[in-house]
Structure 1
Amino acid sequence: MSTLQSSIKSRKNIEIGYQSKFPYARPKEPKRKFVSPIIEKVIENITLNMKDKDLARLFENCWPNTLDTTVAWFDVSEDYPRAFIVTGDIPAMWLRDSTNQIISYVPYANDDDKLKKLILGVIYMQAEFVIKDPYANAFYAPHEAKLPHPKNPWSENDVTTPPPSNITWEKKWELDSLVSFLKLSHNYWYNTKDDSFLTNQVWLEAVNVVLNIMEKQQLGTMQEFGNEAYKFTRMTSTTTETLMLNGIGAPVKRIGLVKSQFRPSDDSTTFPFLIPSNAFASVELSHIYEMIDSTSPDIAKKAKNLSQTIRDSIYSNAIIQHKQFENIFAYEVDGYGSSNLMDDANLPSLLSLPYFDFIDKNDETYLKTREFILSDWNKFWFSGEKFHGVGSAHTGLGYIWPMSLCMKILTSSDDQEILETLQLLKESSAKSGFMHESFYYNDPKNYTRSWFAWANSLFGETILHVAKEKPHLIMIDNFKFF
């Protein structure tokens, strides 16, 4: 009997007494896109030992959702695997989403060779995309995958500089997209100790492209006026779907930060120096230096210098005095002295700065910023009769994102806050058994995107985090983390 079959048999044996108001919503094994015995073992270990069986059922459905449903193509190769991961209900692969969808499986990769190859396959696929169109945020599968290429209904009238490639789904310049490729690379290297890909020419070229794009996007608006490296316009009635000044975006002054014309929500920035994405970049650039200092010292040195420049500029230009919260991080700045004080639910966010290892979660400036974010001073904080959390302009007023609730837990040391937020996450599912993109603050049954793998993955990661760091909150006595 295989490890997986044993796990399934064991799972069936404990069905009696496993009472939950949520349905078991995973596809049956033959219909799962990818099966990992080690992931099944972890699911069993966690669910059997959780106090709250509703929470256990949500974890059981959500954490494997990326593997179960979104591995659209996996080219297994000993030396150069590739994998195409869709977001869920949108048949395209986002650099950011694919990283976040799969990253919580990385710690288990050495226990499953096929899973390890899948993750490396995502890295190589991302590297190819970055080389092909570094300003794009989402892509079609490569030709050899023989997957459908449906038209993106939102981008038919887009005009971009430079023009899109033949595999570009959407060409919104989002700094965090390129950084997400760096993050998955580092996370894989750190957890598996596999350094074979560090000298792969495709991967190295992609890293070099990332650094060159970041340096170009440090230029002030008037420094590149008339010769812009990137422009974007879209025929739309939604202002956050296009850029002002005929596609140039809001003007900025060079201060060492990197422009990002769109946020992780895919909405245009108010001011292009997006602080969470720059903070994220600073961290992952330092990781690139750590990874390749001995094998590619010139690239490594460039990454290290860029990392420090960005970090220094954030502390010089993005800490703003607020009349209620003293000194806090701005969400966006322009280098001329203007700032946008808010936070968005999408990651990276200001709330997530400790999660991305930019700052300690007990740092005074972060704590003040966090207090601001979780208050009605934040224009995208929504508080209803029962639910409260951070939303996004992307889904409109009143819609809370479960991802923001997960991040509240992942950056908290307060047991009561964690328990209360877990309860909100449970109820936000509206008995569907999954997380959603967003839900209305007075009616969780009114939600967007029933199949959004990133949110499911982050929920699973959140449960694993609590089980490891604060097991007394959700696990039975004597639980041992697998």
Structure 2
Amino acid sequence: MFMFKSSVNNEETTTKTENQSKFPFVRPKESERKFCSPIIEKVINNMTLKMKDKDLARLFENCWPNTLDTTVAWFNVGEDFPRTFIVTGDIPAMWLRDSTNQVISYVPYSKCDDKLKNLILGVIYMQAELIICDPYANAYYAPPESKLPHPKNPWSGTDITTPPPSSATWEKKWELDSLVSFLKLSHNYWHNTGDDSFLTNKIWLEAVNTILDIMEKQQLGTMQEFKNEAYKFSRLTRNTTETLMMEGIGAPVRRIGLVKSQFRPSDDSTTFPFLIPSNAFASVELSHLHEMIDSTSPDIAKKAKNLSQIIRESIYSNAIISHRHFENILAYEIDGYGSSNLMDDANLPSLLSLPYFGFIDNNDKIYLKTRDFVLSDWNKFRFSGEKFNGVGSPHTGLGYIWPMSLCMKILTSTNDQEILETLELLKESSAGTGLMHESFYYNDPNNYTRSWFAWANSLFGETILHLAKEKPYLIMIDDFKFI
């Protein structure tokens, strides 16, 4: 699902910083922002005043608060617990994956702002309710009490799914990383705030139990569940990545301990359903789940730990593939029968992002070889033009690089020169708009998709914060102190 934009609006806007930048200040007026947080504004001011590159500072100033400024569609504190509905940007629905990634970089600062803390906790509770409604869905409508409109999804009119969608379902593509993203946000919030109140809440626990049950069902081989499939998806379309083969079943797999994911984080169908980045992500967050609830729900915690170990062991037993140029690398997808798909996609989780998600160290030999492959011309979705090079996705077609892949290149890099060069590419990819986009054409950044894609903006902000903390000498002046 993407929208192409071929022109750029360079209309002059009011600047906020004293030093001029080539990028416009594009945040909404304070009175028009969907949510305001004093601590986030303090961090923005502290960062932008101390950044060496004022163009980079302006991009951070615009991008990092974009989720709070524009996508908080509904926030209700409530008597029992808060609930927050976050749209993805130009699509008026809430994705589990996107909403987690949109707010996660705010979590460390929520200790200093109770309203922000409640907003993030509200995302967790909203996600829990939506998972209970339809655990196989990837995106949802707002709850009726929000009184937000329910526009028809223009892509899903011909969908036939097993089980059928709920009234809350915007789109029912089974993506393992969606459910895992809920676990990630829960753990990140718990770890950073110390708030454990939600761990014994019946709604949160029901969502957790639902996730574990779904994962176990999706470990079954194709013939083990033949004619009794837990999930099927068919769509009338000319695009093969928008539907599943064999009348919605998907490509056959053999049971090997991994969890099927019929769709990727891009919302494209998998070639082989054992999607390795999503399984790696699941292994990490199931381990975190065990850490969170070992003392409050030991039986559930034990189940999560066992599943985490089974998935990790299976990845190392089945997904490391010999490549004639890169020795042993991780496959993107496998089927348990010996087939593998060697590629990477810019959407997260990806092979490139595995250290970021905590699955493997960024100095591990297998990861380094995999990274070399991903960033080479051997990766069929890595595109290189006269100036730009980066990883794209089948979702946007050939030649389109995703800024998120450039951010992830920085977040997994130990090479200062590589980081600085990639920052320059990110600046140029904005095409003068002052924001990040979903993707841009490898020879023309003015030809980009989705001018309002909050996840990309959030990840860019997170990338700058990471550098300010881990490598301040690259982007900050000498007397900078990280908040």
The two structures have a TM-score, normalised by structure 2, of: 0.97
- Where 1:223 maps in the other structure, the secondary structure is coil
How many angstroms does 1:478 deviate by?
1.5
Aligned residue identity for 1:145: S
Q: Deviations over 1:175-232 (max 9, x none)?
A: 0000000000000000000000000000000000000000000000000000000000
* 1:9 corresponds to: none
2:343 equivalent to 1:342: yes
How many angstroms does 1:82 deviate by?
0.1
Aligned residue identity for 1:433: G
What is the CA–CA distance in structure 2 between the aligned matches of 1:101 and 1:294, rounded to whole Å? 30
* 1:187 corresponds to: 188
How many angstroms does 1:420 deviate by?
0.1
How many angstroms does 1:78 deviate by?
5.4
Q: Deviations over 1:80-120 (max 9, x none)?
A: 10000000000000000000000000000110000000000
What is the CA–CA distance in structure 2 between the aligned matches of 1:328 and 1:352, rounded to whole Å? 14
* 1:424 corresponds to: 425
Aligned residue identity for 2:332: Y
Higher relative contact order (Cα pairs below 8 Å, separated by 6+ residues): 2
2:294 equivalent to 1:293: yes
How many angstroms does 1:77 deviate by?
2.8
Alpha carbons 2:138, 2:178 under 8 Å: kept: yes
Aligned residue identity for 1:459: F
* 1:45 corresponds to: 46
State how 1:91-110 maps to structure 2 within 5 Å. 91-110=92-111
* 1:4 corresponds to: none
What is the CA–CA distance in structure 2 between the aligned matches of 1:433 and 1:19, rounded to whole Å? 13
Aligned residues: 470
Aligned residue identity for 2:284: V
- Where 1:406 maps in the other structure, the secondary structure is helix
Q: Deviations over 1:297-342 (max 9, x none)?
A: 1100000000000000000000000000000000000000000000
Aligned residue identity for 2:447: N
* 2:379 corresponds to: 378
State how 1:273-312 maps to structure 2 within 5 Å. 273-312=274-313
What is the CA–CA distance in structure 1 between the aligned matches of 2:297 and 2:335, rounded to whole Å? 34
What is the CA–CA distance in structure 1 between the aligned matches of 2:53 and 2:289, rounded to whole Å? 40
What is the CA–CA distance in structure 2 between the aligned matches of 1:169 and 1:445, rounded to whole Å? 30
How many angstroms does 1:74 deviate by?
0.2
* 1:223 corresponds to: 224
What is the CA–CA distance in structure 2 between the aligned matches of 1:39 and 1:249, rounded to whole Å? 44
Aligned residue identity for 2:109: Y
Alpha carbons 2:39, 2:109 under 8 Å: kept: yes
What is the CA–CA distance in structure 2 between the aligned matches of 1:460 and 1:130, rounded to whole Å? 28
The two structures have a TM-score, normalised by structure 1, of: 0.97
Q: Deviations over 1:408-431 (max 9, x none)?
A: 000001000000000000000000
* 1:447 corresponds to: 448
Aligned residue identity for 2:172: K
What is the CA–CA distance in structure 1 between the aligned matches of 2:168 and 2:374, rounded to whole Å? 37
What is the CA–CA distance in structure 1 between the aligned matches of 2:16 and 2:343, rounded to whole Å? 46
| Percent sequence identity over aligned pairs | 83
- Where 1:150 maps in the other structure, the secondary structure is coil
- Where 1:229 maps in the other structure, the secondary structure is coil
* 1:332 corresponds to: 333
Alpha carbons 2:16, 2:25 under 8 Å: kept: no
* 2:390 corresponds to: 389
What is the CA–CA distance in structure 2 between the aligned matches of 1:30 and 1:292, rounded to whole Å? 41
What is the CA–CA distance in structure 2 between the aligned matches of 1:479 and 1:37, rounded to whole Å? 20
* 1:170 corresponds to: 171
Aligned residue identity for 1:420: E
Unaligned runs of 5+ in 2: 1-13
- Where 1:311 maps in the other structure, the secondary structure is helix
RMSD: 0.9
Structure 1 runs (4+) deviating above 2 angstroms are 12-16
2:354 equivalent to 1:366: no
Aligned residue identity for 2:104: I
